[in-house]
Amino acid sequence: MDENTKDPKALGGVSRRDFLRYGGVGAAGLAASSILAQGVAQDAAEGAENATRPTIPDAFEAQRAAVLSDVEWPLSGAQVFAKLAKEEELGALFCCPGNYDIVHSIAEEGIPTIGGRDERSTAHAADAFTRTTGVVSACSGTEGPGFTNMITGVAAANGARTPLLVLASNMSKTYDDTEATLQTSNQYQQPTTEGMKKYGKRITDPERVWEYAGYAWRHLKSGEPRPVHLDFVSEVSRATFEGPGDLVRSWNKGRYRTDYQPHPDPAAVQAAVDLLERAERPIVVASTGAFYNMAGEAIRMLAEKADIAVVQSGSSYGHFPSDHRLSVDAAPDALYSADVVVYVGQYNMPPAGIPGGFAFSPDAQVIQIEPDPTKIGRNQPADVGIVSNERLAIEAIADAIRPGTRAAWVDEIAAARQAFLDENLGYYEQYRNFSGAVHQSVIAKELSDFLYEGDIPKEQTTVLSGGYSVARYARRFLKAFRPGQVVNGAYHYAAIGPDIAFALGVGLAVKEGIGAQAAVKGAPVVSLTGDGGVAFSIMEIETQAKHKMPVINIVYNNNAWGTWTGQAENPVTLPIHLFQENLRYDRVAEALGAHGEYVTEPGDFTPALRRAYEVAVNENRPSIINCQGIKEFHDAGQYAPGFLGKVEPGAMAYYH
Amino acid sequence: MPASTADAATAIPAARDVVYTYVEKGIFRQLKEVKDVPEGTKEYHFSWLSEHERIVLVLDVSQSHVTFRGLLPPTPDRVGAFVDRFVEERGPDGKGPGHRKVDPELGVLFLERNDDGRTSLGLVVRDGRFAEATRKLVNLANELIFSLQMRHADFTYEHFATIDE
């Protein structure tokens, strides 16, 4: 994808002026608007924010204005690695202290490099960056604790099938097995990431640094994506090379890997076509592989040619538009009717018949499209298995299938979509006038109205969908109209909570307009999290602020982990699940250079959202909107429907 | 109407074949056929849709029933009301597409609250169509449990699933 060279407007993208057009408040009227005036009054009354707001050092502006010079031979090992990363269009690097030979070399190649506040968060940020762009990114930590701090982030990326480049330093290999420093056992990084990567190598031979970088990129850019972990002894990163001749097996990118893709077996395509043409209610599950291989347009062609429904799964959504007549994302009651299911790049394939697995009929026949033949028929029997690049397989099927209509199926989907919407609107109506606390349904519905039903173009806003109790409602209303528009933070590994870190990655992706986010470069971003999650990565608000990222972080604050209801009657165990009540995460945001809002009544949510949006557009400053709920909303016995579940796949799914 | 002995000779094998198609697909796992059952009856225990308990499927030709015995543990009122509505809507007068409802010529869907507080989901089978009825009931049970998971997740988390974030 080379979206960076295309006119954003032509893609349905938006200009900066467009960001200001919403809710009838035009750009000219901003300073005088009552909404903004209320916000200013709030600041003045509190008397704190403007006077004590942190300042961003001039160095950040200087960085943006810096002119990079070409890095020429002789090169260090780190510079060799960085040059290859640049050629391979590494999208970004998120890091914390250490591994500076590599980190600085990558930054000096002009690759956006963000120093965050802890390595777990920066690993999550890199993961989310890639999930929303489709472009490989990297995370980095120093040997020892910097490396081990990244493990959760690496595991989450592995679960989500993200092509994440994990970089870590080692000290000199002369210290192996000596415990000479605080950072002991530094040669054991690779065993630590077993089971959570596609490829890994501790690079110890300086002259092979280019060769092993090639290994890494072959794995990152082919087949089923997963993390790649490289660690470098200092002899490698600090080696000096006079020219390419000092390196072994250093042929260039065009020859150490290929971009040509595997095509499907024609017989398999025909078998799939035969099955689909006989089906009454076929459905495509457009999953992770559909996104990374840009199969969205091909899926749309197939769907429209033969009236085949489409539901999304995976770590991001938008490769099939939510408002399409054939979308089943928000029509879960239609899933049970499918008689043929086409899994496209469904890398996280659950076993059949388990709780939390796919909701399809046990009688549905299965077509599975995967680049890896060892995955065909894994966990579920495949009636037709197609080993292929996902886009090419769908294009072949779309080309071969006869046009057809399935009016009854389309009508059933429409009815299911309307029924689901009515159900969700019912929850909103129940709680929109609740006094003294904000229910999750209010956030979900009014955020959706703000993003998709007002003057903001519906394709504009990228959303990081996180949280726990708020997610159960928000996901029912979130929509995606272009690839990567909604990122499913907790996808598959269930890293529920580090959403501000995920949003850092999404924020950079949109700020720089990388990959799938090119058309909305510079637009505000929204992230959702809960009070259980906010603490995991709240310090990355500081990172968002100093890099002037317009991220609106909505925190659903219900004073507890979402697990408290099971212990409600046990005075010994209940406090384990509770926080102090009415904590002010908005004040923490202000102390970190962001804008803060505290919302305690349902009617105040949308005005706060608008103020935060204004700050995002006018100041490129992040916000926390701290929405005060009560933990009892989680309890269906007191406040139906309580803790809502989800159906896999679809917009609510975590696992599939 | 109870089926005849002659019907049992064909209805049971046909229904058994349906059960085993789900075994072959990996949907019913660790299936065991109970040996000591009355004539004209088959009883299967297997793992499906629950991490906690085994599912019990009973084919009773003499009563013309196919039943998931005790499928649901004791339910709070709101869950019971949901289940009642589910069954009602699968009848001929229910809303929704025809293929998701129970054809009256195939049978009648029923709920039976047992002495232990559990609820069975079953079909009264017409004309000995046990194979079709078994397939239909399996689909209905699948739909019911997943529908409960979506709307009453606290209930299904406690009684069916350990997988939840």
- pLDDT mean over A144-149: 93
Contacts of A245 (CB under 8 A, 6+ apart): none
Identity of residue A205: D
**Would you call A363 an interface residue with chain B, using a CB distance cutoff of 8 Å?**
yes
Best CA proximity match to A530, nearest among A645, A631, A646: A631
- Residue A163 amino acid letter: P
Contact list, A652 vs chain B (CB under 8 Å): 150
pLDDT at A491 over 80: yes
Q: What is the mean pLDDT of residues A589-607?
A: 98
- Alpha-carbon distance B104 to B125, whole Å? 9
Q: What confidence category does residue A511 fall into, taking pLDDT thresholds of 50, 70 and 90?
A: very high
Q: Give DSSP secondary structure letters for A513-529.
A: T-GGGGGGTT--EEEEE
Mapped onto helix, strand or coil, the DSSP state of residue B93 is coil
- Report the relative pairing of strands B41-47 and B55-60 from DSSP bridges: antiparallel
A645 with B78: Cβ contact below 8 A: no
Q: Is A358 helix (H, G, I), strand (E, B) or coil?
A: strand
**In 10 A of CB A152, how many CB atoms?**
19
Q: What's the pLDDT at A562?
A: 87
The answer on pLDDT for A411 being more than 50 is: yes
Angle between helices B130-151 and B5-24 (to 10 degrees): 50
Residue B14 at interface with chain A, using a CB cutoff of 8 Å: no
CA distance readout (Å), A601 to A554, A595, A604, A630: 15, 19, 5, 12
Residue of B nearest to A640 (CA): B78
3-state helix/strand/coil string of A92-119: CEEECCCCHHHHHHHHHCCCCEEECCCH
Neighbouring C-beta atoms of residue A578, cutoff 10 Å: 13
Please indicate whether residue B8 or residue A130 has the higher confidence score (pLDDT). A130
**Span of A49-53, A164-168, A420-424, B14-18 with lowest mean pLDDT:** A49-53
B150 touches chain A (CB under 8 A): yes
Summarised one tens digit per residue, pLDDT across range A94-121 is: 999 999 999 999 999 999 999 999 999 9
| CA end-to-end distance (rounded Å), chain B | 47
- Give the HSE-up count for residue A242: Cα atoms under 13 Å, Cβ half-sphere: 2
B143 and A641 within 8 Å at the Cβ level: the answer is: no
Q: Is B97 on the interface with A (CB under 8 A)?
A: yes
pLDDT of residue A19: 55
Structure tokens at A525: 């971003």
Confidence band of A354 (pLDDT split at 50, 70, 90): confident
How far is the alpha carbon of A402 from chain B, nearest alpha carbon, in Å? Answer: 25
Q: Across the interface, do B143 and A643 touch by the CB < 8 Å criterion?
A: no
> What integer pLDDT is reported at residue A445 of this predicted model?
98
Q: Chain A: nearest CA to B109, how far in angstroms?
A: 18
pLDDT at A10 over 50: no
Classify residue A639 by burial, with Cβ atoms within 10 Å: 0-12, 13-18, 19+: middle
Closest-CA distance, B68 to chain A, in angstroms, reads 15
Instruction: For residue range A77-99, list pLDDT tens digits in order.
Output: 999 999 999 999 999 999 999 99
- Name the more confident of B4 and A640: A640
DSSP 8-state secondary structure symbol assigned to residue B28: S
Write the pLDDT tens digit of every residue in A295-305.
999 999 999 99
Q: Is A355 in contact with B29 (Cβ distance < 8 A)?
A: no
Instruction: Return all residues near B83 (Cβ < 8 A) that are at least 6 apart.
Output: B72, B75, B111, B119, B144, B148
Six-digit token string for A281: 């209610």
Distance CA A121, CA A220 (A): 21
Residue of chain B whose Cα is closest to the Cα of A333:
B147
Measured between CA atoms, the residue of chain A closest to residue B55 is A353
Query: Is residue A359 over pLDDT 70?
Result: yes
Q: Is B147 near chain A, with CB under 8 Å?
A: yes
The DSSP bridge partners found for residue A283 are A309, A341
Q: Does A640 touch chain B (CB under 8 A)?
A: yes
Query: In the predicted model, is pLDDT for residue A580 greater than 80?
Result: yes
More confident residue, A361 or A17: A361
Residue A191 has pLDDT above 50, yes or no: yes
The whole-chain average pLDDT of chain A stands at 91
Residue of A286, A345, A283 lying closest to A320 (CA atoms): A286
Q: A402-405: long-range contacts at Cβ-Cβ below 8 A with a sequence spacing of 24 or more?
A: A402/A277, A402/A306, A403/A305, A403/A306, A404/A277, A404/A305, A404/A306, A404/A307, A405/A307
Lowest mean pLDDT across A12-21, A507-516, A603-612, B89-98? A12-21
Quick one: closest CA in A to B24, which residue?
A381
A181 vs A420 pLDDT, higher one: A420
3-class secondary structure, A649: coil
The CA distance from A248 to B129, in Å, is 72
Asked if the model's pLDDT at residue A45 lies above 70, the reply is no
Residues of A in contact with B99 (CB under 8 A): 280, 337
Inspect the interface and report whether the beta carbons of A645 and B150 lie closer than 8 Å.
Answer: yes
Which pLDDT score is estimated for A656? Answer: 83
Give the mean model confidence (pLDDT) for residues B6-29.
Answer: 88
Interface test with B, best of A337, A363, A378, A468 (most B CBs within 10 A): A363
Which residues does residue A22 pair with via DSSP β-bridges, in sequence order? A25
Residue that wins the pLDDT comparison between A309 and A11: A309
State how far residue A472 is from chain B, nearest Cα, in angstroms. Answer: 9
User: What would the mean pLDDT of B81-106 be, rounded to a whole number?
Assistant: 95
CA distance A420 to A327: 13
Closest CB from A336, A356, A644 relative to B151: A644
Percentage, residues of chain A above pLDDT 90: 83
- Asked if A232 and A85 count as a contact pair (C-beta separation under 8 A), the reply is no
Inform me whether the pLDDT recorded for A28 exceeds 60. Answer: no
Q: For residue B162, what pLDDT band results from cuts at 50, 70 and 90?
A: low
pLDDT of A477 above 60: yes
* pLDDT score recorded for residue A30: 39
Residue type for position A293: N
Whether the ω angle into residue A74 lies within 30 degrees of 0, i.e. cis, is yes
d(CA A291, CA A313): 10
Residue B18 contacts by C-beta under 8 Å, 6 or more apart in sequence? B131, B134, B135, B138
A10-14, A229-233, A287-291, B19-23: lowest mean pLDDT where? Answer: A10-14
What is the secondary structure of A432-445 as a DSSP string?
TT-SSS--HHHHHH
The predicted pLDDT at position A185 comes to: 59
Interchain proximity A654–B161, CB inside 8 Å: no
CA–CA min distance B35, chain A (Å): 25
Start-to-end CA span in chain A (Å): 25
Predicted confidence band of residue A17 (pLDDT cuts 50, 70, 90): very low
Q: Cα torsion for A250, A253, A254, A258, to the nearest 10°?
A: 110
Strand pairing of A462-465 and A486-488? parallel
Select from A598, A563, A571 the least CA-distant residue to A582: A598
Nearest C-alpha neighbor of B146 from the set A441, A350, A496: A350
Residues in a beta bridge with A317:
A486
- Look at residue A76 and give its three-state secondary structure: strand
Q: Do A351 and B26 touch (CB under 8 A)?
A: yes
Rounded CA-CA distance A210/A252 in Å is 9
Please state which of the ranges A234-238, A443-447, B52-56 shows the lowest mean pLDDT: B52-56
Minimal-distance CA residue of chain A relative to B101? A337
Please give the Cα distance from A603 to A610 (Å, whole number): 12
3-state per-residue secondary structure call for A192-245: HCCCCCCEEEEECCHHHHHHHHHHHHHHHCCCCCCCEEEEECHHHHCCEECCHH
Instruction: Examine the pLDDT at A547 and tell me if it is beyond 60.
Output: yes
Per-residue confidence band for A651, with pLDDT thresholds at 50, 70 and 90: confident
- Model confidence at A24, in pLDDT bands (50, 70, 90)? very low
Percent of all residues in chain A with a pLDDT value above 70, rounded to a whole number: 91
**Does the N-terminal peptide bond of residue B73 adopt cis geometry, omega within 30 degrees of 0?**
no
Q: How confident is the model at residue A496 (pLDDT cuts 50, 70, 90)?
A: confident
d(CA B89, CA B86): 5
Contact A361 B142 (CB under 8 A): yes
A491: nearest CA partner in chain B: B165
- Binding-face residues of B in 26-85 toward A, CB within 8 A: 26-29, 48-51, 76, 78
pLDDT of residue A451: 98
Q: B46 to chain A: nearest residue by CA?
A: A353
pLDDT digits (tens, 9 = 90+) for A295-348: 999 999 999 999 999 999 999 999 999 999 999 999 999 999 999 999 999 999
Per-residue pLDDT at A370 exceeds 70: yes
Please report the residues numbered 425 through 464 in chain A whose beta carbons come closer than 8 angstroms to any beta carbon of chain B: none
Structural element, H or E, at residue B145: helix B130-151
User: Could you tell me if B165 lies within 8 Å of chain A, comparing CB atoms?
Assistant: yes
Q: Mind telling me how many Å the CA of A134 is from chain B's nearest CA?
A: 26
Instruction: Say if CB A91 and CB A159 are below 8 A apart.
Output: no
Chain B residues with CB under 8 Å of A381 CB are 24-26
Three-class SS of residue A628? strand
Option in B26, B78, B161 nearest A352 (CB): B26
